Structure 1
Amino acid sequence: MITLKKMIPVALGVALFGSVLAGCSTEKGLNGEQSTAPQVDKKFKLSYLNQNYDKTVKDSYAIKYVENKFNVEIEQLPRSKDNYKEELLLKVASGEIPDVWVDLGFPEYEKLVNQGAVAEIPQELIEKNAPNYWAWLKKHLGDDPLKLYKREGKNYSMPIIQTLGPDRTVVGLRKDWLDNVGITKSPETLEEFEDALRKFRNNDPDKNGKKDTYGWTGQAVGVKDIFSPVFGAFGVFPGTFTDKDGKIVRGEIEPGAKQALTILNKWYKEELLDPEFVLNKGQNVDDKIISSKAGIVTASWYQFITKAAFFDGKYYDKLRANVPAANWVLTAGPKGPDGQQGTVQLNPIASSGGQFGKHMENDKEKMAKYLQVADATAFDAETFENIVYGEKGKTYNKGEKGDYKYLPPFDKEEEQIKFGIGQQYTFLGKSFNDYDFQTPYMTLNELMSLRKASEHIGKGKYDIMQPIAIAAYNENVDALDQMTLKYYIDMITGQRPVSDFDKYVEEWKKAGGSKVMAEAQKKYEENFKK
């Protein structure tokens, strides 16, 4: 099983913007071959798909900085937030293949590689043109970081790793609500959670004189979404492949899932759960938390602390705009009868990374330029500061404690957007998040202790087979997941008795599940037990 090594800051100060293409020499070329031919520094046009395109402006400060530093022309193109995968696959199928893209799942990666739509990216090209990125990969994935991305011995990916993934997700409980209903000890066990849920529903925790609050809200968009910490209390993680005593198991069909469904059915019947969890999408959950309609939610730890401490903070900053005294207590989830707890976490290899279109295979010089820009925008302090913060003394200053602070009026997002700076400027490498490197830019000095107290609370397991191609799974996953969602929702809401769980497991196996598990075990042994 791939494990993350201890995060160590990547050394900075490397001069990344010198062209590898200029001059006449006998040094190794882009692929490591000896070359004596004179090379001309070409001006390439680099195009990027940007999911925050609506927050970018033409001729922005960030774009002009990158263009000037690397002698390139930058084009930002809109990337759909909702249908990105489908739109990209349609473009490729129609022959409109982008230069570069990121964040497709492994099934789509496998498909595009097999179709011949993806360019090979030689390891030597990455090492030469993105040395800091390469060092970061090796620190976290080991000496062969491309192992899981290679097909027939060739690499087609620039891996993207989410180093926060394995302990990112936590359970947040409204601390001010606990105080209001007289609970002085943070809930730990299932029984203590149930007590809090009951009082959040019945004891007017928001003090508005109405019975209009629920204990726990969530969603049922995917199998992993359905109150995962309750399943974690019984040591199971639906929607994931995990290892148990040398065998691959699937959480949704494990016996512990039946115990979790029994608890959730009880809570639902007592109106302790948000009854709209079946219909909720992410925005619905956000709205209910920010408007104080529910007091418990599962989310990333950084949603529950201020954005000035790390990255987002929506369940803290936006909530406190409505309720100034609002606060959160964070936990890994309720402990079950055997002391187990946790929730479905994120595999650090969360996607297939970044790929180049097949046509780029014949333009290694341009591919090298993309890699140089990616390396600098993710790992070079000067480049990062100019893209995100802009012009020192005009848009930001660095305080005595080393904090980076926007100067008015650029402390307002709309002014940052007008000037053309911010995290929304994606030059591929923005996906290579080295959070040690980014710490001074993300966390105010006085909030460092808050961040450190919050960031490693999460427990649980992630899908270890996510990067591995399992043909039977890809063929059957949609039908199996729809079956699971239907059974789970019906058992929680009382449309079916929980005793139907055993019937569900048998149907799941007959509908392709047994074939999936057999192939998953084989792939597990091939990739993780050698």
Structure 2
Amino acid sequence: MNKRMNGLSLALSIVLLGLTVTACSNNSNSDEGKTNDSAASPPQSATASGTGASDTVDPVTGKKMKLMVWSFDADKTNVDGYAMNAIREKLGVDIDFYNSTNDAAAIKEKLLLQIASDNIPDWWTEIPFAEGDKFADQNVAAEIPLEMLEKNAPNYMKWMEKNLGPDPMRYVRRQDGKIYSLPVLWTLASSSEVLGYRQDWLTKVGIDKTPETIDEMAVALDKFRNEDPDGNGKKDTYGMTSHPATDATQQVQGLFSAVFGAYGVWPGATVDIDGKAVRGEIEPGAKEALTTLNKWFKADLIDPEFFINKDANVDDKVISSKVGVVQKSWWEFIQPEAFYEGKFYAKLREKVPNADWALSSGPKGPNGSFGITQGNPMLGTGIQFGKPLEANPEKLAKYLQMFDATSFDLDLYTKIHYGVEGTTYEKKSDGTYAYLPPYDTDESRTEYGIGNFYHAPGSFNDYDFQAPFMTRGDLMDVKNAAASKGIGKYDFMLPFAKPAFTEYQDALTQLTMKTYIEFITGRRPIEDFDKYAAEWKSAGGDKVLAEAQTKLDEINKK
């Protein structure tokens, strides 16, 4: 896994980078965007034994087949480095990469211009489902025969089945039975969100276990507000905050999701409840959750600025010890060596050396319900291939082999990321990997041409397979324990084309956010909840639910 990607940033990166390939790979002989060929070459070939695949001839050009990968960090990639040579020798192809750009609009515009001029590129990734369907309808995207996929990407198929169950292609198979895209999963999404309590604060105020019920959570919030948990002699801490907004949008699911989960509802997500498509915004349980939150707000237990928070504000309040409970991805609360960056663990300990976190799946409500709204692991259409590859199935098959090998082949994955055992890395007794000097620096790895920037497509991340590469051996239990806390439901409609939702989404979100904030802060009485629910339905919500029910029925029939 490329650790630089997670959550929404992962999805955005895939959109940008995948489209970059499409914008550059149509001309296999072009040098446009190519990295500097003068970059230092590795001291040896990728396969010292010379046991790589024999050269593959492209039946269309009659030349050695050329495949394209991409680079989103040109200054950290080496076109003639060890990783690139490892891929070349494994597959018996020529291979190159192109620099990406962060200008999503320019990338998409160039892609559409190429398609309009009948200069269709080899492949692209992560466009919305509606666009993917259009490309299939307009003979822009190539059909991907299931038997070709099973033969040339068997590890990918096993990974998909592990996460989506039997027949994972049912989500992208069209009514005619054909497949035009490879789903891309971010499997962490469906179990990433947890509730973090400051463990050192719990200890300070005399609470000897992580709160398990909504009532126990209320006690902790009260003590965090009123019993000086940071020990500075001031009443300047709050029990809990939330992050209902990003830089671009408001997100209902970011508004105290764990409290709503205690009452069995999931605002901001369309969920499947016994075959019925449900939006938690208007369910009776939401009224109960809002009643609880209003009670806590009136008692001054909740950050009074919760409704204007963005991620940066939340980070600052957590790291500066202004709040004791927050919902975030589980890896933010543990050591960076255990998984990813460990932001709240590492940065908080810079200020408070003994700070620690207790993680929860959310408090249990009166009926035993609990959980936090999670993310849909399907990020969108996934990968599509250009229509011309239907006439060149050998090349389509080779792309599938490259995607499969760079993501799931242990030998190749190790070469790409770590290089040569005994030279650039050592495998430790606990099964994990460590770079050897001088390759323990980014600069040396860049020169040698290894690291997290070379595998393609870069979005098939099996975290069980990658665990030895990502987690220090003695912290594996810490990582697994934290990951087990991510429990809840997610929006099953996220990846699908949904015209009604697209039309009414902004109005419904604004209505819900405005009204929920009014309910929580007491500006509007909770008794008006039924009036709000009726207004939500009349503002397009009834159409959104009907659309979701139709799609759910289709999925359940497949």
Q: Give the TM bin, normalised by the shorter chain.
A: 0.7 to 0.9
The answer to whether the Cα contact below 8 Å between 1:107 and 1:474 also exists between their aligned partners in 2 is no
Deviation at 1:38, TM superposition (A): 11
Flag the 1:155–1:337 CA change in 2: closer, same or farther, 3 A.
same
Deviation at 1:375, TM superposition (A): 0.9
The answer to whether the Cα contact below 8 Å between 1:274 and 1:294 also exists between their aligned partners in 2 is yes
1:179 aligns with 2:203: yes
For residues 512-523 of structure 1, the aligned pairs below 5 Å read: 512-523=540-551
Q: Counterpart of 2:182 in structure 1: which amino acid?
A: M
Q: Counterpart of 1:183 in structure 2: which amino acid?
A: I
- Provide the C-alpha distance between the structure 2 equivalents of 1:512 and 1:213, rounded to a whole number of angstroms: 40
Match of 2:525 among 485, 488, 497: 497
Q: Counterpart of 1:144 in structure 2: which amino acid?
A: D
SS in 2 for 1:461: coil
1:153 aligns with 2:153: no
Match of 1:268 in 2: 297
Match of 1:319 in 2: 348
Match of 1:200 in 2: 224
Match of 1:441 in 2: 469
The answer to whether the Cα contact below 8 Å between 2:57 and 2:65 also exists between their aligned partners in 1 is no
Q: Counterpart of 2:144 in structure 1: which amino acid?
A: I
- Provide the C-alpha distance between the structure 1 equivalents of 2:293 and 2:128, rounded to a whole number of angstroms: 31
Match of 1:371 among 384, 393, 400: 400
The answer to whether the Cα contact below 8 Å between 1:197 and 1:215 also exists between their aligned partners in 2 is yes
The answer to whether the Cα contact below 8 Å between 1:49 and 1:101 also exists between their aligned partners in 2 is no
- Provide the C-alpha distance between the structure 2 equivalents of 1:115 and 1:488, rounded to a whole number of angstroms: 43
Match of 1:3 in 2: none
1:466 aligns with 2:494: yes
SS in 1 for 2:358: strand
Match of 2:86 in 1: 65
- Provide the C-alpha distance between the structure 2 equivalents of 1:172 and 1:303, rounded to a whole number of angstroms: 9
Q: Counterpart of 1:383 in structure 2: which amino acid?
A: L
The answer to whether the Cα contact below 8 Å between 1:168 and 1:456 also exists between their aligned partners in 2 is no
Match of 1:288 in 2: 317
1:397 aligns with 2:426: yes
Deviations 1:19-66 (A, max 9, x none): 69459xxxxxxxxxxxxx89956241404364x667546655433433
Match of 2:276 among 239, 247, 270: 247
Deviation at 1:172, TM superposition (A): 1.0
Match of 2:149 among 126, 130, 139: 126
* TM-score normalised to structure 2 length: 0.80
Deviations 1:163-184 (A, max 9, x none): 4443332111110111122222
Which range moved further: 430-439 or 284-293? 284-293
Deviations 1:392-431 (A, max 9, x none): 3333211123221123454455654565433344510x31
The answer to whether the Cα contact below 8 Å between 1:53 and 1:79 also exists between their aligned partners in 2 is no
- Provide the C-alpha distance between the structure 2 equivalents of 1:454 and 1:514, rounded to a whole number of angstroms: 38
Flag the 1:311–1:254 CA change in 2: closer, same or farther, 3 A.
same
Which range moved further: 93-102 or 183-192? 93-102
Which range moved further: 496-505 or 354-363? 354-363
For residues 214-253 of structure 1, the aligned pairs below 5 Å read: 214-221=238-245, 222-253=251-282
* TM-score normalised to structure 1 length: 0.84
Q: Counterpart of 2:432 in structure 1: which amino acid?
A: D
For residues 133-144 of structure 1, the aligned pairs below 5 Å read: 133-144=156-167
Flag the 1:483–1:127 CA change in 2: closer, same or farther, 3 A.
same
Q: Counterpart of 2:141 in structure 1: which amino acid?
A: V
The answer to whether the Cα contact below 8 Å between 1:480 and 1:513 also exists between their aligned partners in 2 is yes
Match of 1:7 in 2: none
SS in 1 for 2:194: strand
Match of 2:112 in 1: 93
Flag the 1:54–1:337 CA change in 2: closer, same or farther, 3 A.
farther
Deviation at 1:323, TM superposition (A): 2.3
Q: Counterpart of 1:174 in structure 2: which amino acid?
A: R
Match of 1:9 in 2: none
SS in 2 for 1:299: strand
Deviation at 1:233, TM superposition (A): 0.6
The answer to whether the Cα contact below 8 Å between 1:21 and 1:365 also exists between their aligned partners in 2 is no
Deviation at 1:464, TM superposition (A): 2.6
Deviation at 1:117, TM superposition (A): 4.3
Deviations 1:53-100 (A, max 9, x none): 6754665543343345443232143253xx74x555433333376643
The answer to whether the Cα contact below 8 Å between 1:169 and 1:344 also exists between their aligned partners in 2 is yes
Q: Counterpart of 1:194 in structure 2: which amino acid?
A: A
Match of 2:70 in 1: 48
Q: How many residues align?
A: 498
The answer to whether the Cα contact below 8 Å between 2:144 and 2:180 also exists between their aligned partners in 1 is yes
Deviations 1:241-298 (A, max 9, x none): 2222432211111111122122223333444323333333333333332333322111
The answer to whether the Cα contact below 8 Å between 1:47 and 1:77 also exists between their aligned partners in 2 is no
- Provide the C-alpha distance between the structure 2 equivalents of 1:160 and 1:287, rounded to a whole number of angstroms: 33
1:476 aligns with 2:511: no
Which range moved further: 68-77 or 258-267? 68-77
The answer to whether the Cα contact below 8 Å between 1:62 and 1:387 also exists between their aligned partners in 2 is yes
- Provide the C-alpha distance between the structure 2 equivalents of 1:473 and 1:110, rounded to a whole number of angstroms: 17
Flag the 1:269–1:360 CA change in 2: closer, same or farther, 3 A.
farther
Flag the 1:290–1:227 CA change in 2: closer, same or farther, 3 A.
same
Match of 1:307 in 2: 336
Deviation at 1:127, TM superposition (A): 2.4
Flag the 1:142–1:189 CA change in 2: closer, same or farther, 3 A.
closer
SS in 2 for 1:329: strand
The answer to whether the Cα contact below 8 Å between 1:241 and 1:465 also exists between their aligned partners in 2 is yes
Deviation at 1:467, TM superposition (A): 4.0
1:328 aligns with 2:357: yes
Structure 2 residue ranges without an equivalent (≥5): 1-49, 246-250
The answer to whether the Cα contact below 8 Å between 1:106 and 1:466 also exists between their aligned partners in 2 is no
Which range moved further: 373-382 or 180-189? 180-189
Match of 1:506 in 2: 534
- Provide the C-alpha distance between the structure 1 equivalents of 2:166 and 2:52, rounded to a whole number of angstroms: 26
The answer to whether the Cα contact below 8 Å between 1:220 and 1:278 also exists between their aligned partners in 2 is yes
Query: RMSD in angstroms over aligned alpha carbons?
Result: 3.1
Q: Counterpart of 1:304 in structure 2: which amino acid?
A: F
Q: Counterpart of 2:150 in structure 1: which amino acid?
A: E
Q: Counterpart of 1:158 in structure 2: which amino acid?
A: L
Deviation at 1:523, TM superposition (A): 2.3
- Provide the C-alpha distance between the structure 2 equivalents of 1:126 and 1:208, rounded to a whole number of angstroms: 61
SS in 2 for 1:177: helix
Flag the 1:282–1:383 CA change in 2: closer, same or farther, 3 A.
farther
Q: Counterpart of 2:223 in structure 1: which amino acid?
A: K
SS in 1 for 2:114: coil
